[in-house]
Amino acid sequence: MSNPRVAGAGVTKFGKHPERTGRDLFAQAGLEALDQSGVDSDDVDALFYGNFMGELAEHQGHQGPLMAEAIGLDVPATRFEAACASAGAAIRAAVKDIRNGEADVIVVGGAERMTNIGTAAATDALAIAADDLYEVRAGMTFPGAYALMARSYFEAYGGSREDLAHIAVKNHEHALVNEHAQIQKEISVQDALEAPTIASPLGLYDSCPITDGAAAAVLTSEAYAEEHGLEAPVAVTGTGQGGDNLALQDRAHFAQTPAADAAAEEAYADAGIGPADVDVAEVHDCFTIAEVLAIESLGFYERGEGISAATDGETTRHGVMPVNLSGGLKAKGHPVGATGVAQLATIAWVLDGSHPRADAVEDGRIGVCHNAGGTVASTTVHVLEVAE
Amino acid sequence: MTEAAPDGQYDAWLDAIEAGEGYYLECANGHGWLPPRRICPECRSRDLGEERLPDSGKVTTHTTITVPTPQFEDDAPYVTAVADFGSVSITGMVRGIDPEDVEIGTVVGVEVGERVTTGDRAVVFRPR
Ligand SMILES: [Zn+2]
């Protein structure tokens, strides 16, 4: 079985572009990815595209063909929706098709337009990733759901808002050199602690911003990359996906994310590696507490120990296990349907040395992407390795 | 304007709570769920029966939401909590107590209230 190569990737500037249509955002990222890959567009077999709230934000369903057209492709195009893990699910499907020999070249990507409808409507749209009858109607918001998880975590394992603040400070610092990042501003622990509360115990700086943006990558079979002399040194060597009850109330505990445990276990086994082999990770920190749950599910930390990783400097760019060198969702931004592919692009660039924070892991060979949907009822994990 | 159709068993469940006859669904292995369910997702038992909801539950986690969705604009700030009623847990809005005083372990009863913003029905917890 040969592993797909990342032949090229493109990411828009993440941020507030309320006037930019989804199709324009994706066209920019997709064309950049195609150009960078050196792949002839005639050779593309399919587009797998992630998007979450297009109906609500743009009154636009059926976005697959629209986005293929936007990047000049006349190929079967399918939209994937798994809330914030939509693009991760698209990557996974592409990896499987290429491995199975069903395709040689697949463009994966995603886009989300969010700021055009304003903060209140975007908050409303994000909330529908939760159980409408039993959660949303009881006032649950997206930050509220993670606040419930954070409080459970503190109760079960300890930790404090200050520990969460260190995660925000770290990710903001990482984003300072990332030209794609929405927020390039250094903050202090004090700033984070003094920010307004949005859903106790979480404050404004525990939360990712609302973001417009797109990301795309061109995945090819190993044989295709070799035949066409592509510069594609990074391979996707492991894929995993896990699921959980949609509603928090139906889970055994709120301070663990078993869907991510399952996704990580499957992806590691698939790649033939373990957590100790991983040099760098991009994880789904839609809220600071989510980064804690992610690094525990990925096996970098025991349960209850991930909370102090940033405080202790271990997950900073100078630490032993750098997490979210891009700035994470927290500072880079979170255009929901694009996030999974933006993570993949970051890890590919870190491993091939072209990312501005690649110096954090100079001899890094293995990176992991963790993309979570809703309150982690969907999670994909992908392992990327330097193949040559 | 066409009136929205009710949400089947969900609205019936709210009706039952309003009538003081709250229930949940339980499989033969004691896994509890809220309706509608045709199968227990835990053990795949299809033999689900209605059990009486206990009079009180305990808050297992809670948050005070200050940035709401538009449907809860005039409700904010409000407390949303998950409470454990034994075999089943329920999410609701906590009322009748200062948000600062809600704690993990607070004993609550469940009733049906109204959203301030829209007048829609909502699951409400009150300290017991
Ligand atoms: Zn059961």
ipTM of model: 0.97
Report field, pTM of the whole predicted structure over 0.80: yes
Give tens-digit pLDDT for A252-261.
999 999 999 9
Helical packing angle, A118-127 and A142-157, nearest 10°: 60
The vertex-A310 CA angle with A6 and A12, nearest 5°, equals 35
For an interface test with A, the pick among B66, B82, B90 (most A C-beta atoms closer than 10 Å) comes out as B82
Question: From the CA of B81, how many Å to the nearest CA of chain A?
Answer: 7
| Cβ A38 vs Cβ A8: under 8 Å | yes
| Cβ A385 vs Cβ A141: under 8 Å | no
CA distance A218 to A81: 19
Residue of chain A with shortest Cα separation from B72 = A139
Residue B74 predicted with pLDDT over 80: yes
Q: Which token pair is A277?
A: 């082999």
| Cβ B27 vs Cβ B40: under 8 Å | yes
pLDDT confidence of A388, banded at 50, 70, 90?
confident
For an interface test with B, the pick among A123, A126, A142, A151 (most B C-beta atoms closer than 10 Å) comes out as A151
Q: Indicate if the alpha-carbon torsion angle A228, A229, A233, A237 is positive or negative.
A: positive
Q: How far is the CA of B10 from the centre of ligand 1 (A)?
A: 20
Residue B24's φ and ψ, nearest 5 degrees, are -140, 175
CA distance A256 to A260: 9
Give tens-digit pLDDT for A173-209.
999 999 999 999 999 999 999 999 999 999 999 999 9
Residue A326 predicted with pLDDT over 60: yes
Q: How far is the CA of B24 from the centre of ligand 1 (A)?
A: 13
| Cβ A63 vs Cβ A78: under 8 Å | no
* Confidence at residue A2, expressed as pLDDT on a 0 to 100 scale: 87
**Interchain proximity B73–A120, CB inside 8 Å:** yes
CA distance A62 to A60: 7
Q: Spell out the alpha helix ranges (H) of A230-335.
A: 258-271, 288-297, 328-332
Residue type, A141: T
The HSE-up count of residue B91 (CA atoms within 13 Å, CB side) is 24
Q: Which token pair is A221?
A: 């079979």
Q: Which token pair is B84?
A: 């454990």
| Strand spans (E) along chain A | 5-11, 46-50, 77-80, 105-112, 197-199, 202-203, 213-220, 234-243, 280-282, 366-373, 378-386
pLDDT confidence of B100, banded at 50, 70, 90?
very high
Question: From the CA of A120, how many Å to the nearest CA of chain B?
Answer: 6
Which of A369, A328, A383 minimizes the C-alpha distance to A169?
A328
Q: Indicate if the alpha-carbon torsion angle A162, A163, A164, A165 is positive or negative.
A: positive
Rg of chain B over CA atoms, in angstroms?
15
Residue type, B13: W
**Interchain proximity B122–A151, CB inside 8 Å:** no
User: Under DSSP, is residue B71 helix (H, G, I), strand (E, B) or coil?
Assistant: helix
CA distance B6 to B12: 9
Task: Considering only the beta carbons, identify the residue of B60, B65, B122 that sits closest to A199.
Answer: B65
How many A×B Cβ pairs under 8 Å? 96
Give tens-digit pLDDT for A76-120.
999 999 999 999 999 999 999 999 999 999 999 999 999 999 999
**Interchain proximity B82–A120, CB inside 8 Å:** no
Active site amino acids of A:
84, 334
**Interchain proximity B63–A151, CB inside 8 Å:** yes
Give tens-digit pLDDT for B8-51.
999 999 999 999 999 999 999 999 999 999 999 999 999 999 99
Residue A1 predicted with pLDDT over 80: no
- Pairing status of strand B89-94 against strand B121-127: parallel
